[in-house]
Structure 1
Amino acid sequence: MEIHRLSQEGGAALRAEAEAALTAAEVAAVKVAGPPAPGGVQALAAAKESNRRVAVVSNNSAECVREYLAIKASEERSMPWSGVRSFGPTS
């Protein structure tokens, strides 16, 4: 968070560069991430079965979340999602 705060002082170009570097680091870290939270897969399956929509809220980037879901879906065919749409932060 300190990097985000300090990059604000450097202007738009520095802020964009810092954000890109942090996002790349998050996406790289996904490759060694652990399993989904207990009950997560079951909750997604129940939502899918009942035609409900699911929102994933994270303090990580949308790219990181998409990569995590893609990796976990390829590891375990029973993962109940078929696609991920993302919406950027509102602030």
Structure 2
Amino acid sequence: MNRVRFIQGEDKHVKLFVRAPNDEPFTILSATYTLSRFGEVEAKGECDINGHYLDIKMEPKKKTKSYILEITYAVADSVRKARIEVEVI
């Protein structure tokens, strides 16, 4: 699982690049995210879609190593997910 680090109080972008097997062409139809800690959702919303990049602007509130950013996106007739660990120091 990938990891990103914030310093408490930072408000910045997290970008995810989505690739297809065998470099097949595709379009991301929709994408959402949730930022949670111990199963409790702190933030959620829509991702900005720019080609094959998903962009989330966020500001985690608490110092912890246990945030999970879960991104759900739709490509054609399938729904896919990605998870990123978020650490706030």
What is the TM-score of this pair, normalised by structure 1?
0.28
What is the TM-score of this pair, normalised by structure 2?
0.29
Larger helix percent = 1
Larger strand percent = 2
Greater gyration radius: 1
